[in-house]
Chain A
Amino acid sequence: MLFRQAGILHTNYAQDRALFPIPADRWMIGGLLLLAAAAPFYMSTLYLSSYMLPWLVWTAAALGLNLILGWAGQFHLGYAAVMGIGAYAAVHAQRNGVPWEIAIVLAGLTAAVIGSVFAFAALRVKGLYLALSTLALQFVMDWTISHVPAISGGTQATLQAPDIRILGQAVTSDAGLYYVALVWCVLVTTFMLNLRRTALGRALVAVREKDYAAAVIGVNSFYFKLVAFATSSFIAGVGGAILIGTFYHAVTPEQFSVDVSIQALAMVIVGGLGSIIGSYFGAGFILLMPGVMNAFISWLTTQFGFSLGIETLAHLPHALYGALIIGFLLIEPLGLGKIYGNIRDYLLVWPFGYVKK
């Protein structure tokens, strides 16, 4: 009923290959975009700057990881390190007088180059071995940053990031920073949506399913793996630069440590491999749920008037959060994106549940 399909007839190829053939999807996306664009007008600055903004930046980053993990099927345990390369590149470029618009492109390119150099070595191995090689990238980056003062900025290992300047105009307000993140996230999402229907996207999927089989049908798997690494590293690099510019305002090695890599991986897996809406859900879940759980439990304690120790109060949300992840993955191993897909499939034919989907 909601997604009424009756009367949708494609009379040319362009229509048939549209991103959203069903009008309801288009309406929803349009509505969400409007809501997102108007967020600074109805949302408190707290929600805007501490929840929406990091969520959007991390969603874009998760999409980049999803490209390599979900589309090309290559493990990547050093994703945060690649983001870090971009972040440091952008901050150093800006401090040397490069305009921000060019600095973030430089950040992406630096990350793409270093990420691909590692990919060359890593792509000779597969599966778990690849996972370990990318983990090595993470540790090499950690070590390099903390042992080369020219990169990290001395013993304090903190570099203050210059303000974002767009066409010479400093962006410092919460709303302005939010729009930077929103535009970036929309750009990456659009790219990923379109990737699905390009030759590159199909080649990546072929490589993911079986690289020998892909080679047999004439897809150069090594080349496409390399392209996947470079593209995802580019997105990661720009994402890292934007994360620093809009949210942290200072860059330190811990912001891109191995824990963060694991978190990014969790975003993609909980959200759903190869699912775009899943990346939104996954990033939101992994990033915001601990805080929400925290607030929920402290609300419960005040509401029902029982007092918990400081430590119990801190650990309980983690336990619940872990249980939620396990629960979701038990219900639907393909992640939150697939749960959404199931609901949508159900509504597509509702109320005629017996119709074959």
Chain B
Amino acid sequence: MKLRSIIGGLALMLTSSMAAHAADPVKFALCYDLSKAYTFVTPQVAQAAKDYADILNAKGGLEGHPIEVIVQDHGNEPQRGIECYERLKREGVMVFDMLSTPVSRAVLPRVMKDGNILMQSLAGRGDAVDGDVFKWVFPIGPTYWGQAANDVGYIKQQSKGSLKGVKIAFVYVDYPFGQEPIGIMKTLAQKEGFDLQLFPYPLPGNDQASAWTQVRRFNPDWIISWSLSNMHVIASREMKRNGISLEKYIGVNWFNEVDIKNIGADAAKGMKRGTNVAGGSTQPLVQEIIKELYDKGKGNGDRKHLEDVYYNTGLAIWSIGFEGARLAIKKDGWPLTPQKLKDGLESIKGFDANGLMAPVTVTASDHGGGGKTRIEMWDGAKWVPQTDWIASFPEEVWSVVKEQSAAYAKSDANK
């Protein structure tokens, strides 16, 4: 009896250790809101993650370990996001992304306590780029502060290096997402001497009429707009109505091809957006995915999403995530731990996924990867880059970041 159990135990150990060598997958959890507020972006991002994982797996995965992408819906409800995190963490997942500001905020205390990786590009606390305070959070990509600063940097280029007397309108939806850049805009207005006015409009953003009549009276040279998807469509309509040229409009990165189609490809000519990824399906990486997957009917979703900039956003987020894991295995070997993954992500240097996005260099203190964006203009058929990848006013941006993260560090120490 005893002998048999020992043999059984040995056999079990042998098979399990063999399996570990053969094909232990690296798991990534995409706890996304696929059914409520973020549906304008999550399906494309999840599809991109799965597509890219398939491409890498066909080439042998991450140093021999296949990628497993787990997608689960949390409906933008914090408690379901926490459930997703708690469940998957016990299934051996170490890298999470929530892609929702409320859920990221709710999960953050747990992630910091447990020491797991939270990727939260373009969602959640912006000050989490401060890797010294937020050790386990990687909001790779620009913060909203950085993006706003880059927009101002572009306007400065356009105004021949001086912003004195330039009138900039900041139009935003009046809740935390829209309010976030106000601080940095005010700081920059003081430093650069441009004339800044704020124009909030209420959620859900279907009625912006009063904001835009005020914008008309202000008669700005440029308009920076913090709006989400369809709000841009409403904004363009109000601009037409008030006789404001669309060429003055610079949108935040949540402005995609679907919105352009809703405005009308011709009517939208001249509108601009800030972005950290190149749009369109002409990028080499997207072309490879089309050739290897979609032409063979093996894509992970609707082919029309490939034209959408949010697909590229997803590719950008997850190519960085996968690259970080690859570096981690290469440097420190299998089995992975969150600490190794963290080191892997922090050793990413000048990575741009074959020209898909702004080059990213992550360090232990900068988890944002540099925060570069560029301005693109819609020319009636495609997005035309107006600048290189730029990161303007880094000192001002970092002083905002440091101020906020210090407040977090203080409240965390008070526990």
Q: Give A contacts to B, CB under 8 Å.
A: 44-46, 49-51, 54, 95, 146, 153-163, 247-250, 252-255, 259, 287, 290-291, 294, 309-311, 313-315, 317-318
Contact A250-B106, Cβ < 8 Å, known A155-B183, A310-B301: yes
Q: B73 near A249 (CB under 8 angstroms)? A: no
Interface residue ranges of B394-415 to A (CB < 8 Å): 404, 407-408, 411-412, 414-415
Contact A50-B412, Cβ < 8 Å, known A250-B106, A294-B72, A314-B35: no
Among A49, A50, A157, A161, which residue has its beta carbon within 8 angstroms of that of B176?
A157
Contact A310-B127, Cβ < 8 Å, known A155-B180, A291-B80, A294-B72: no
Q: Give B contacts to A, CB under 8 Å.
A: 34-35, 39, 43, 46-47, 50, 71-73, 75, 77-80, 82-83, 86-87, 90, 101-102, 105-106, 108-110, 113, 125-127, 175-176, 179-180, 182-183, 300-302, 404, 407-408, 411-412, 414-415
Q: A46 near B87 (CB under 8 angstroms)? A: yes
Q: B106 near A255 (CB under 8 angstroms)? A: yes
Chain B residues whose C-beta falls within 8 Å of the C-beta of A247 in the assembled complex: 79, 82
A51 to B43, CA, bound (A): 27
Besides A146-B175, A156-B176, 7 other A-B contacts (C-beta < 8 A):
A146-B179, A156-B126, A157-B176, A254-B102, A290-B80, A315-B34, A318-B35
Contact A248-B415, Cβ < 8 Å, known A46-B87, A50-B87: no
Among A49, A156, A318, which residue has its beta carbon within 8 angstroms of that of B125?
A156
Chain A residues whose C-beta falls within 8 Å of the C-beta of B75 in the assembled complex: 290, 314, 318
Q: A250 near B301 (CB under 8 angstroms)? A: no
A250 to B80, CA, bound (A): 15
B159 CB to closest chain A CB, in angstroms? Answer: 28
Q: B106 near A146 (CB under 8 angstroms)? A: no
Among B102, B126, B408, which residue has its beta carbon within 8 angstroms of that of A255?
B102
B40 CB to closest chain A CB, in angstroms? Answer: 12
Among A160, A161, A162, A311, which residue has its beta carbon within 8 angstroms of that of B43?
A311
Q: Interface SS of chain B: helix, strand, loop or mixed?
A: helix
Q: B404 near A155 (CB under 8 angstroms)? A: yes
A284 to B46, CA, bound (A): 30
Q: Interface SS of chain A: helix, strand, loop or mixed?
A: helix
Q: A154 near B407 (CB under 8 angstroms)? A: yes
Contact A158-B125, Cβ < 8 Å, known A146-B176, A314-B73, A315-B35: yes
Contact A294-B412, Cβ < 8 Å, known A46-B90, A50-B83: no
How many interface contacts (CB-CB < 8 Å) are there between A and B? 107
A311 to B41, CA, bound (A): 11
Q: A252 near B415 (CB under 8 angstroms)? A: no
A144 CB to closest chain B CB, in angstroms? Answer: 13
Q: B105 near A309 (CB under 8 angstroms)? A: no
Chain A residues whose C-beta falls within 8 Å of the C-beta of B411 in the assembled complex: 95, 153, 159-160
Closest to B33 in A: A314
Chain A residues whose C-beta falls within 8 Å of the C-beta of B39 in the assembled complex: 311
Contact A310-B46, Cβ < 8 Å, known A155-B179, A155-B180, A290-B75: yes
Chain B residues whose C-beta falls within 8 Å of the C-beta of A51 in the assembled complex: 83
Chain B residues whose C-beta falls within 8 Å of the C-beta of A311 in the assembled complex: 34, 39, 43
Q: A160 near B180 (CB under 8 angstroms)? A: no
B12 CB to closest chain A CB, in angstroms? Answer: 22
A163 to B80, CA, bound (A): 22
Q: What are 13 A-to-B residue pairs whose CB atoms are below 8 Å?
A: A46-B87, A50-B86, A54-B79, A153-B411, A154-B407, A155-B182, A160-B109, A160-B411, A252-B106, A254-B105, A255-B78, A287-B79, A314-B75
Chain B residues whose C-beta falls within 8 Å of the C-beta of A49 in the assembled complex: 86
Q: A162 near B414 (CB under 8 angstroms)? A: yes
Q: B415 near A291 (CB under 8 angstroms)? A: no
Chain A residues whose C-beta falls within 8 Å of the C-beta of B415 in the assembled complex: 160, 162-163
Closest to A260 in B: B77
A259 to B102, CA, bound (A): 13
Q: A291 near B404 (CB under 8 angstroms)? A: no
A300 to B284, CA, bound (A): 37
Chain B residues whose C-beta falls within 8 Å of the C-beta of A310 in the assembled complex: 34, 43, 46-47, 50, 71, 300-301
Chain B residues whose C-beta falls within 8 Å of the C-beta of A46 in the assembled complex: 86-87, 90
Among B78, B182, B302, which residue has its beta carbon within 8 angstroms of that of A248?
B78
A157 to B106, CA, bound (A): 12
A294 to B87, CA, bound (A): 13
Contact A50-B82, Cβ < 8 Å, known A158-B125, A249-B109: yes
A300 to B47, CA, bound (A): 21
A336 to B106, CA, bound (A): 30
B75 CB to closest chain A CB, in angstroms? Answer: 6
Chain B residues whose C-beta falls within 8 Å of the C-beta of A54 in the assembled complex: 79
Among A95, A250, A259, A291, which residue has its beta carbon within 8 angstroms of that of B108?
A250
Q: B175 near A154 (CB under 8 angstroms)? A: no
Q: A313 near B82 (CB under 8 angstroms)? A: no
Q: B106 near A156 (CB under 8 angstroms)? A: no
A154 to B176, CA, bound (A): 10
A315 CB to closest chain B CB, in angstroms? Answer: 6
Closest to A311 in B: B43
Closest to B180 in A: A155
Chain B residues whose C-beta falls within 8 Å of the C-beta of A159 in the assembled complex: 411
Chain A residues whose C-beta falls within 8 Å of the C-beta of B414 in the assembled complex: 95, 162
Chain A residues whose C-beta falls within 8 Å of the C-beta of B77 in the assembled complex: 259, 290
Chain B residues whose C-beta falls within 8 Å of the C-beta of A317 in the assembled complex: 73
Question: Which one of A45, A287, A290 has the highest number of Cβ atoms from chain B below 10 Å of its Cβ?
Answer: A290
Contact A250-B404, Cβ < 8 Å, known A49-B86, A160-B412: no
A254 to B71, CA, bound (A): 23
6 residue pairs, one from A and one from B, having the closest CB atoms: A314-B34, A314-B73, A254-B102, A249-B109, A50-B86, A50-B83
A291 to B87, CA, bound (A): 11
Chain B residues whose C-beta falls within 8 Å of the C-beta of A294 in the assembled complex: 72-73
Closest to B75 in A: A290
Contact A313-B79, Cβ < 8 Å, known A46-B90, A159-B411, A160-B109: no
Chain B residues whose C-beta falls within 8 Å of the C-beta of A153 in the assembled complex: 407, 411
Q: A248 near B106 (CB under 8 angstroms)? A: yes
Chain A residues whose C-beta falls within 8 Å of the C-beta of B301 in the assembled complex: 309-310
Among A252, A290, A313, which residue has its beta carbon within 8 angstroms of that of B102?
A252
A54 to B81, CA, bound (A): 13
Chain B residues whose C-beta falls within 8 Å of the C-beta of A313 in the assembled complex: 34, 71, 73
Q: B78 near A254 (CB under 8 angstroms)? A: yes
A146 to B78, CA, bound (A): 18
A146 CB to closest chain B CB, in angstroms? Answer: 6
B414 CB to closest chain A CB, in angstroms? Answer: 6
Q: B43 near A291 (CB under 8 angstroms)? A: no
A88 CB to closest chain B CB, in angstroms? Answer: 14
A156 to B124, CA, bound (A): 8
Chain A residues whose C-beta falls within 8 Å of the C-beta of B87 in the assembled complex: 46, 50
